[in-house]
Structure 1
Amino acid sequence: MNDLVLTNANIVLDDRVMHGTLIARNGFIRLIDEGSTQAPGAIDCEGDYVIPGLIELHTDNLEKHLMPRAGVLWPSLPAVLTHDAQVVAAGITTVFDALSVGDLEEESVRIETLRSTYDAILAGQNSGALRADHWIHLRCELAYPRLIEALEPLMRHSSVRLISLMDHTPGQRQYRDIQQYRKYYSKNHTSWTEDEFNNVVKQRAEQQATYSARHEKAVLDMVQGQDIVLASHDDTDTTQVEHAHRIGVSISEFPTTREAADAARKLGLTTVMGAPNVVRGGSHSGNVAALALAEADRLDMLSSDYVPASLLHGAFLLHSQAGWSMPRAIATVSANPARALGFRDRGELKAGLRADLVRMGAVDGLPIVRNVWVGGNRSF
């Protein structure tokens, strides 16, 4: 027997917080009970919270390790291992690594590193070198001319479980204000004269007209009959959400307006917002605030997006600032993404489920990850 015993803990269940003891055996939760134990080997959590391991469905964090400095490409496997260590330290036990299939910019680290990163993730899985349970989220840039030829070979592995349909053409969705598009790319040291910028916007619109609808149909044909969840990225209005619902999308990923979030709720789509949006108190792109959607009951899940530590912090702020109960707040980063992605073996603290566990303290209102177990094994 290989028992893990966490005692004197505030255990966050699906409907309440219970002070008690959790026992896991051979990677699965065996028992959760009230009261403490003095059993040999029991870990005294000293009143800390014990919560389900966090589930991250969209993280771009890996990109920072692939290019740690402008113009510097890092080897893919070491980058994946560093990213893996960072997400586990943030309490994330199941992670969907978001790989962008295509980009609207001609010179892009996303295009250059796509295949090597994909292969490195699978190599890390096969070797047992990864601490978290890694899956693959393919982000399909519909207006990218070579999308289908890049996507087809990536669809052959069972780790691909989530696909998002995205279109970053300036003038709509995230960049409905085209000056936001210009501002974003200026951070990447891209500079245009006024004429050059207007020409770029025109070219992007022509690309969209040529490829987006055609590529969307091709992607939908590819996922037909497969165990893959579809997400729609940066929906802005009711029309876009209704279209997403019509083609089989079940996740509204980062809606940019209250109108889009309202439409997603009406049609039964699950809405995910960025945890950095919660932590910062608003969107860095001028889009709708995640806390505003939480207060209006239009938010179901959080994603750490580009800051792994924001996932737990964001959930904690839903509890402290939006007035949500601790179980409801923690569900946005555990039970709700588990259901949205079709996992039945994780996301909650219940007997029979995987022992993906996080021991969490709090200092001055900031959640602190003390320990993490993945499948009952200590990973942090």
Structure 2
Amino acid sequence: MLDLTLLNAPVLRPEGWSDAPLSIGGGLLGGSAGKVVDLSGFEILPGIVDAHGDGFERHMAPRRGALRERASGVQACAAELAACGITTAALAQFWSWEGGMRGPEFAEEVFAAVTEVAPTVPIDLRLQLRLETHFLDGFAGAEEAIARWGISYAVFNDHLPHRRLAEGRKPPRLTGQALKSGRSPEAHLALMMGLHDRGDEVPAALDGLCARLAARGVTMGSHDDRTAEGRAEWRARGVRVSEFPETVAAAQAARDAGEFIVLGAPNVVRGASHAGNVSALELVGMGLCDALASDYHYPAPARAAWRCVELGMLDEIAAWKLVSEGPARLLGLSDRGRIEDGLRADLVIREQATRRIVATIAGGRVAYMSGDVAGRFIA
């Protein structure tokens, strides 16, 4: 682990930018002076905490059916996370009737690979299980996996096209989705119809499952909330995180109840939802955001935070909290997300002239370093 003092670089502390030196020792912030590193021309920010990201999929399965190097994929993912300034990452893996990369078999491979690799990399890799609400036959397996792999964050999704199924119409993109699942289009449609027809069983099954997960201390979230009423139903089950709400009404309901709101950083960078839902920028401007997550693009959190500053929506302190302190609190991690003595030494070093991330320190270890800044550390 590093034992050093960083000089001549502005440091983004909770109270604002500070020119005071920053020391690292024993994996924590603060402590003895150690080796002195001159970081003139650079600035230091808290490491990014990513509460929800599935960008790891392209590393785990770069081409369907071609490679099964899961551990190597996790290592590559950790390197990408570090290059993007992410020091803690919740890898969001489906447990779904959709099969393929979203099915339980693939999920178990992901969980095993992350568990194997996590102790060997500086980045704190965590798991999130995304459970499809109508996958009733998969509930027991999901619950067992959560316990066995020590998963502390579960999110509920519903990707069934209920309206079309109720009307007896084929969903869009049926053939492509069926091929990804390894089923024929006919078999895939029959499966969806069967799941849709069991809708009356879902609420009671979710009530029981959520009660058991809450008793274990698992953080729970609902994905793509559309209405205040829907958010209230999840709240009654102890589900206190609203991930990517699709409307102002749903997000406002979560805020009024003091619940966490997670928005997609790519949505902020784009300036609009790719699915035509409410803009994350609009919600950020209304104060309806606690955390910006990478979603499907790991470079997005750092870029989104700065985008909020560029547009004059937030100052840099408030904007960076959306990718550091906010998601850390959501995940129950009080030891990170801020630059304060005694906390984990999770830092992003950014070039002042370009705002390019040039180094990432995670838990007091170098996770990423590129370019001229490396010479400062090894001189």
Tell me the TM-score range normalised by the shorter chain.
0.7 to 0.9
Residue in 2 that maps onto 1:374: 362
Q: Which amino acid aligns with 1:116?
A: E
Residues 28-67 of structure 1 mapped to structure 2, 5 A cutoff:
28-30=28-30, 41-67=35-61
State whether residues 96 and 102 of structure 2, in contact with CA within 8 Å, keep that contact through their aligned partners in structure 1. Answer: no
- C-alpha offsets along residues 334-364 of structure 1, whole Å, 9 cap, x if unaligned? 1111112111111100011111111012566
For residue 141 of structure 1, what is the aligned residue in structure 2? 132
Q: How many residues align?
A: 365
User: Secondary structure at 2:152's aligned position in 1?
Assistant: strand
Aligned residue number for residue 15 of structure 2? 15
Residues 71/209 of structure 1: CA separation in 2 closer, same or farther (3 Å cut): farther
TM-fit CA distance, 1:299 = 1.3
Equivalent residue for 1:170?
161
Residue 376 of structure 2 corresponds to which residue in structure 1? none
Match of residue 76 from structure 2: 82
Return the letter of the residue paired with 1:59: G
Contact 2:263 2:280 in 1 (8 A): yes
| 1:376 positional shift | 1.1
Q: Who is 1:230 aligned against? A: 220
Say whether 1:119 aligns with 2:107.
Answer: no
Answer with 69-78 or 113-122: which moved more. 69-78
Q: Tell me how far 1:251 sits from its aligned partner.
A: 1.1
Q: Give the letter aligned to residue 133 of structure 2.
A: L
Q: From the superposition, tell whether residues 245 and 185 of structure 1 become closer, same or farther in structure 2 (CA, over 3 Å).
A: farther
Q: Can you list the C-alpha shifts for 1:74-100, whole angstroms capped at 9, x where unaligned?
A: 321111111111111111111111121
Asked if the contact 1:51/1:357 (under 8 Å) is kept, the reply is: yes
Shift of 1:184: 9.3
AA paired with 1:93?
T
Match of 2:274 in 1: 284
The change in CA–CA distance for 1:166 and 1:21 in structure 2 (over 3 A counts) is: same
Identical positions, percent: 28
Residues 1:355 and 2:345 are matched in the alignment: yes
Determine the structure 2 residue equivalent to 1:95: 89
Identify the residue that residue 216 of structure 1 maps to in structure 2.
206
Which amino acid in the other structure matches residue 124 of structure 1?
V
Kept in 2, the 8 Å contact 1:291–1:322? The answer is no
Instruction: For 1:266, give the aligned amino acid.
Output: D
Structure 1, unpaired ranges of 5+: 33-38
Q: In the alignment, which residue of structure 2 is the partner of 1:35?
A: none
Q: TM-score, normalised by structure 2?
A: 0.86
Distance 1:209 1:356 in 2: 46
**CA shift in 2, pair 1:343/1:309, >3 Å:** same
Distance 2:95 2:27 in 1: 35
Gapped regions of structure 2 (runs ≥ 5): 369-379
1:102, 1:146 within 8 Å by CA — same for their partners in 2? no
Kept after mapping to 2: 8 A contact 1:135/1:159:
no
Deviation sequence 1:148-169 (CA, Å, 0-9, x none): 2321331224741111122122
Root-mean-square deviation (CA, aligned residues, Å) is 3.2
Native 8 Å contact 2:242 2:261 kept in 1: yes
Q: Secondary structure at the match of 2:10?
A: strand
* Cα separation, 2, equivalents of 1:47 and 1:371: 13
Q: Is the partner of 2:292 in helix, strand or coil?
A: strand
Q: Which 4+ residue blocks in structure 1 deviate beyond 4 angstroms?
A: 106-109, 183-190, 194-204
Q: The residue matched to 1:255 in structure 2 has which SS?
A: coil
1:67 maps to a residue whose letter is A
Q: For the Cα contact (< 8 Å) 2:82–2:123, is it kept in 1?
A: yes
Residues 105-136 of structure 1 deviation map (CA, whole Å, 9 limit, x = unaligned): 255554331111111111113xx322311111
CA contact (8 A) 1:257 1:288 kept: yes
Q: What is residue 293 of structure 2 aligned with on the other side?
A: 303
What SS does the corresponding residue of 2:235 show, helix, strand or coil? helix
| CA contact 1:17–1:326 (8 Å) conserved in 2 | no
Change in Cα spacing, 1:290 to 1:134, as seen in structure 2 (3 Å) is: same
Contact 1:237 1:259 in 2 (8 A): yes
Q: Secondary structure at the match of 1:182?
A: coil
Letter in 1 for 2:356: I
